[in-house]
């Protein structure tokens, strides 16, 4: 007879793994990635490829040469995911060296100094994007028009729907909104004008990713639904007060809102731990996004809204507790 293995219960495990979740999110991103290849061609491939490669390389190097860990963490999929999400948030004509700097911010500043996966306060990909936006405002706010699949740095750029919306509010001129593509084009991504970041062009592909993640129980509905619903209600009310504010459907389908709500705000590490906390977080992100978009200096407020709420996540975790069993009968 062999040996008896002894440990405390439970002796069964649900077979879920960190890798399954990380690669699950990556799979959920694939439809949007393929769509971006369709619309932005080699530009998208270069930006995403560079971003992923740089993120993985930085994580590997920091682990090996600075932290001197024996075990590498790049196989868990989190660095690939950060790279992919960072790429999704960039214009498809961004020079390679700027992308590498973005990856360095993401992995070298936002993730590894805090202790690596699970310990970072802010979403690494969004820190990368925000840092680049501040450091290279010109390159980070010119967006190539869709459909130029063979051009990279030389791509022709155009005005994004968000820019038009902001100008309409600033100038009090609702006629600018007439230039916006219709909702169906926004949803499918096939509008010829300037589009925005390469990953956010097609709402349908992003929603497909959401359905996949919900089905695989990678995330719950609380964060994406609360963000989208809040933006719908808030921008809907604004639209009712004055025609200079775009209609809520267009607001939701343009810019990085769906990408942020589905993939960025739901980042495990930087979002609250309880359903109630997640709803508070989602509502706050929705409100902040609409405020920044309508009255802020930047046309896009999603990434700043998420980063601001990342900072509040520890506070939310501290004060918002799940409903304890039997609580309603207490004292």
Partner 1 sequence: MKFNARTFSIGGIHPEENKLTHEVATQVAALPKQAIFPLGQHIGAPAKPVVQKGDKVKVGTMIAEANGFVSAPIYSSVSGTVLKIDTAIDATGYRKPAIIINVEGDEWEERIDRSDKLETVAAHPELTPEEIVERIKSAGVVGMGGACFPTFIKLTPPPTAKAECVIINAVECEPYITADYRLMMEHADEILVGLELLMKAAKVTKGYIGIETNKPAAIELLTRKCAEVFGTSAYQVSVVPLKQRYPQGGEKQLVDAVIGRQVPAPPAIPVNVGAIVQNVGTAFAVYEAVMKHKPLFERYTTVTGKRLQNPSNFLVRMGTPMKELIDACGGMPEGDHKLLAGGPMMGKALTSVDVPICKGTNSVTIISDDEAVRKEPQPCIRCAKCVGACPMGLEPYLLAKLAAVQNWERSEQEDVVSCIECGSCQFTCPAHRPLLDHIRLGKATVMGIIRGRAEKK
- In the complex, which residues of this chain contact partner 1 (CB under 8 A)? 1-14, 16-18, 20-21, 76, 78, 115-119, 220, 268-269, 271-275, 317, 321-330
Nearest distance in Å: CB 89, partner 1? 21
Distance CA 238, CA 243 (A): 8
Closest to partner 1 by CB, 3 or 68 = 3
Q: Up-side HSE of residue 99: CA atoms within 13 Å toward CB?
A: 29
Burial 44-65 (b: 16+ CB within 10 A, else e): bbbbbbbbbebbbbbbeebbee
* Both tokens assigned to 55: 């993120």
Closest to partner 1 by CB, 11 or 68 = 11
Nearest distance in Å: CB 122, partner 1? 13
Nearest distance in Å: CB 234, partner 1? 26
253 contact partners, CB below 8 Å, separation of at least 6: 183, 186, 187, 203
Closest to partner 1 by CB, 50 or 271 = 271
Closest C-alpha to 120, from 249, 269, 223: 269
Nearest distance in Å: CB 115, partner 1? 8
Distance CA 99, CA 275 (A): 35
Closest to partner 1 by CB, 23 or 37 = 23
Nearest distance in Å: CB 50, partner 1? 26
Closest to partner 1 by CB, 23 or 298 = 23
């Amino acid at each position: 007879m062999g040996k008896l293995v002894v440990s405390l219960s439970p002796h069964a495990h649900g077979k879920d793994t960190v890798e399954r979740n990380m690669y699950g999110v990556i799979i959920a991103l694939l439809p949007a990635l393929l769509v971006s290849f369709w619309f932005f061609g080699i530009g998208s491939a270069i930006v995403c490829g560079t971003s992923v490669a740089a993120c993985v390389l930085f994580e590997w190097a920091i682990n090996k040469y600075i932290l001197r860990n024996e075990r590498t963490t790049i196989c868990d999929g989190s660095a690939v995911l950060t790279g992919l999400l960072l790429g999704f948030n960039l214009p498809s004509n961004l020079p390679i060296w700027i992308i590498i700097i973005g990856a360095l911010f993401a992995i070298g500043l936002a993730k590894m100094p805090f202790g690596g996966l699970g310990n970072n306060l802010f979403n690494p990909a969004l820190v990368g994007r925000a840092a680049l936006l501040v450091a290279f405002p010109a390159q980070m706010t010119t967006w190539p028009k869709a459909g130029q699949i063979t051009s990279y740095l030389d791509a022709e750029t155009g005005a994004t729907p968000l820019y038009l919306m902001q100008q309409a509010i600033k100038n009090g001129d609702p006629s600018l909104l007439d230039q916006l593509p219709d909702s169906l084009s926004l949803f499918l991504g096939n509008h010829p004008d300037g589009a925005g970041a390469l990953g956010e062009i097609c709402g349908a592909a992003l929603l497909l990713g959401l359905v996949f993640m919900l089905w695989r129980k990678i995330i719950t509905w609380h964060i994406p639904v609360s963000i989208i619903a809040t933006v719908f209600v808030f921008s809907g009310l604004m639209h009712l007060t004055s025609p200079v504010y775009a209609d809520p459907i267009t607001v939701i389908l343009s810019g990085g809102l769906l990408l942020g709500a589905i993939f960025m705000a739901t980042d495990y590490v930087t979002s609250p731990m309880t359903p109630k906390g997640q709803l508070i977080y989602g509502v706050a992100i929705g409100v902040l996004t609409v405020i920044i978009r309508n009255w802020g200096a930047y046309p896009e407020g999603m990434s700043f809204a998420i980063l601001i709420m990342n900072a509040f996540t520890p506070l939310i975790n501290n004060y918002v507790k799940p409903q304890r069993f039997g609580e309603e009968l207490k004292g």
